[in-house]
Amino acid sequence: MERRKFLSCLIATLAFTTVSATAFAEGDDDEAGATVLKMRTMAPAGSLWAKQFKEWKETLKDKSGKKLVLKWTWNGGGRDEKAMVNDLKSGTLDGAAMTSVGLSSFVKDMLIFNLPGLFDSWDDLDKVRVNEMGYFQKEFEKQDMILAGTGDVGKGRLMGTSDRWNDEVWRPANLQNKALACVEADVIGPKLLEIQGASCTPVGINEIGSKLGTSITVLNTPSYAALQLGWSKKVRFVLKGLVPYYSIGGIVFSKKAVDGLSDELKTALLDSAKERGQALTKAVRAADNSAYDQIARKCEERVKKEENKGTDGGPTTGTYDIAARKDDDDDTKSRKAEIRGQWADLFKKTREALRGEFSSDMYDRVVTGRGK
């Protein structure tokens, strides 16, 4: 059986950044005398994230009277999120914008947002995030960190590169007996796969492009990430009607680094970080929806062009919508309901199995208390 790797729900690490503060050096920028925050992001230079970060740079420069400057390096600069965490703890870096996986290295409960099937919509997630923000900020302060803002990466979507219908992950059973991949520090993806009879090994973000279509044939990733990093070029299948998770992130700074700024610059930095997180959230949600439609449409058009059929009567490429539709016949409705039930059952078992990973109060408020 073909070995396949499954990219866990936290692949969207690409969207976020590291920050290091230094005194300005003449010739490094056009703002002599300013304090420079050296920024690094996994996002490509032309991406929406990069555009938002450039706007943040200009906004902060103006708000601080050109006393505080953000200096960006795109495409990761050869570093990953694990390095961000280690450097923040050691004091090498002053701050980072990262996914909930990275943030969970400081406060484990941040990872609760990534539990599969926990939220039904962005509005659903927003209510919980707002309610819990005070708790998280206090917990970060205990780690000598400041959670300055939050943002989104996108809706997780299951995509595949296989030409064979029964190889595509349109049902949980297709995860079984396959070699899959997961992101370091993530406890959710491995547990879900374990429950379904599969296993996983770590994979780096920068490895995906070269391995996609061979040793990695399934992605569980936000659509905009897949589009911006070129992964969607190899995607031949999208599972519609299912959002396994909603991927979020946040901007965190070392408390020591922030306290070292003047009150004026401190206020400018933290206010702009919160504002940028809100702007990024709005922009990313729209772009992610558009990217999803674009990728799904491409897959559907490819099916019509090739007119291929699998051995079980299903298309070898394209999409499969497990959401109920008005024009579905009774057999189709029944089949889709069964598939949705299988995913819901797997997600619930995963949430229950991971209860011990979180503080009991947090789990009770966010999961049990919401009937999940």
Under 8 Å CB-to-CB from 187, ≥6 apart: which residues? 111, 354, 357
Instruction: Tell me the torsion sign for CA atoms 275, 137, 101, 348.
Output: negative
CATH class, range 6-370: alpha beta
CA dihedral defined by 227, 230, 234, 237, rounded to 10 degrees? -10
Pick the residue with more confidence: 95 or 340?
Answer: 340
Matching residue, tokens 């990217």: 291
This prediction's pTM: 0.86
Q: Is the pLDDT of residue 48 over 90?
A: no
- Buried b or exposed e, range 94-121, using 16+ CB within 10 angstroms: bbbbbbbbbbbbbbebbbbbbbbbbbee
What the block records as the tokens of 56 is 């943040």
Q: Nearest Cα to 247, choosing from 350, 71, 116, 109?
A: 116
Matching residue, tokens 């070029």: 233
Instruction: Assign 6 a pLDDT band (cuts: 50, 70, 90).
Output: very low
What the block records as the tokens of 186 is 């993530």
Pick the residue with more confidence: 94 or 310?
Answer: 94
Q: What is the pLDDT of residues 286-337, one digit of tens each?
A: 999 999 999 999 988 877 666 555 545 555 558 889 998 888 889 999 999 9
Q: Is the pLDDT of residue 154 over 90?
A: yes
Q: What is the pLDDT of residue 1?
A: 37
Query: What residue segments make up the domains of the chain, in order of their start?
Result: 6-370
d(CA 133, CA 24) in angstroms, rounded, equals 34
Instruction: Assign 102 a pLDDT band (cuts: 50, 70, 90).
Output: confident
What the block records as the tokens of 226 is 């897949």
Q: Is the pLDDT of residue 11 over 70?
A: no
* Residue 365 burial (10 A CB sphere; 0-12, 13-18, 19+): middle
Q: Nearest Cα to 116, choosing from 356, 303, 351?
A: 351
Helix or strand or coil: residue 105? coil
Q: What is the pLDDT of residues 72-86, one digit of tens each?
A: 777 766 778 888 888
d(CA 22, CA 354) in angstroms, rounded, equals 41
Q: Nearest Cα to 81, choosing from 59, 97, 70, 61?
A: 97
d(CA 351, CA 245) in angstroms, rounded, equals 12
